[in-house]
Amino acid sequence: MIASANLQSPISSLQSLNITRAEMERAFYNKDASYDGVFFVAVRTTGIFCLPSCSASPKRENVEFFLSAREAIFAGYRPCKRCHPLDVNGAPPRWAKTLMERVEKNPDEKITAREMANIGVTPERARRWFLDHYGMTFAEWQRGKRLAEAFTQIRNGSPLDDVVFANGYESHSGFRDAFSKTFGAAPMRARHTVAANDGYIAAQFIESPLGPILAAATRDAICFLEFSDRRMLEYNYNQIRKRFGLPILPTTNDALEQLRAELNCYFQGKQKNFTTRLAMNGTPFQERVWNELQEIPHGETISYEQLAQRIQQPTAVRAVARANGSNRISIIVPCHRVIGKDGELTGYGGGLWRKRLLLELERTGHLPGDN
């Protein structure tokens, strides 16, 4: 059973929106999806919190209501695996999933504005959402999927004619222009000049109990891992593109799939150390800090002062803090294990609530609410 943690703010906040408990109960027991994201329902007997539209039907005396998923998590509840309440806060909405699934099945198909309207989305909304979450418009994302496949085919020796028409291009010139703009080399030079430096960075969403994570990797090493709602996400994403001098395409590779499996075990409390290779690519000072972060044992924390001492720079506490904050590979490079010298949690790009839960996971082997 989960204690309510003496939280009064969710109810007062909800009252400020003129939402009564009776209205929330009515919406929840009627499974009214129009309230999804407006409030969240937590069940004391299971330790789970849900969307109002969730099919769960607990007794009224066992539920409490929160204005945000964050408040529910702070009270010790875990997101429901049936209705996925964290999807409201960053995971691809249904229309975006529909578009992505359609592109996966038919990468050479061009989706028209009318077809988008049929699934309830405008081209501008799709453009803005993909730009916010992938750093590219939907048209660029779709083109990237085609070019990623084309690049693989060319690198593996497929005839250019087969590659051009198999990926939905009507002419060699159109394909050559798109390919050269993305990879910085003509298609037939790609086998030598582009393949020599991995060609592109693959990027994918990875679902987690704390919300979706955007991961990116070169052919064999992770270079980016951040919760998708982090501030400055697009800035950091662009920095990766600049530092490696490679385009980022929405596809996967062996490094990302290995990471996906290891993160799954980590969030289940079954994995303490990651074996996925990393491509950190920072300044020498930053990499000293990031390498030292990886030496902090699972389940333990240190202060910024201790971190500075460990790299033999005891007077560089502020510089160490900046390097810690500029880490672009969260969880694996565990910047969340650095806290204030007074034991208080300090800033974390993914949010202090996630930092607290990551530390709790590593301390106990499970997230709050897990049985």
The structural domains of the chain, with segments of one domain joined by +, span 9-85, 94-197, 202-371
CATH number at 94-197: 1.10.10.60
Alpha carbon distance 347, 344 (integer Å): 10
Tens of pLDDT, residue by residue over 51-85, are 888 888 899 999 999 877 777 876 778 888 888 78
* Residue type at 314 in one-letter notation: P
Q: Which segments within 276-315 are labelled E, that is strand?
A: 302-303
Show the tokens assigned to 86: 């964290």
Distance CA 110, CA 116 (A): 11
354-361 long-range contacts, CB within 8 A, separation 24+: 354/210, 354/211, 354/227, 356/74, 357/73, 357/210, 358/210, 358/331, 359/301, 361/266, 361/267, 361/269
Is there a contact between 62 and 28 (Cβ–Cβ < 8 Å)? no
State pTM to two decimals: 0.60
Task: Indicate the Cα dihedral angle 174, 244, 233, 288, nearest 10°.
Answer: 170
Report pLDDT for 27.
86
Instruction: Give the whole-angstrom CA distance, residue 180 versus residue 243.
Output: 20
Angle formed at CA 326 by CA 323 and CA 332, multiple of 5 degrees: 95
Same fold, 9-85 and 202-371: no
CATH topology of domain 202-371: Arc Repressor Mutant, subunit A (1.10.10)
Structure confidence at residue 346 (pLDDT): 80
Q: Do you know the residue count of the chain? A: 371
d(CA 145, CA 150): 9
Q: What is the DSSP string of 21-40?
A: HHHHHHHHHTT-GGGBTTBE
User: How many angstroms separate the CA atoms of 41 and 85, rounded?
Assistant: 10
Residues forming beta bridges with residue 298, ordered by sequence position: none
| DSSP line for 51-86 | -TT-S----GGGEEEESSHHHHHHTT-EE-TTT-GG
Catalytic residue among 50, 54, 223, 335: 335
The whole-number pLDDT of residue 203 equals 83
Residues of the chain with pLDDT under 70: 1-19, 34, 37-38, 74, 87-92, 107-108, 132-135, 148-149, 151-198, 229-237, 368-371
CATH ID of 9-85, from 1.10.1270.20, 3.40.10.10, 3.40.50.300, 3.40.50.20: 3.40.10.10
Give kind and range of the element (H or E) at residue 306.
helix 304-310
* CA 355/CA 347 separation, integer angstroms: 9
Catalytic residue at 223? Answer: no
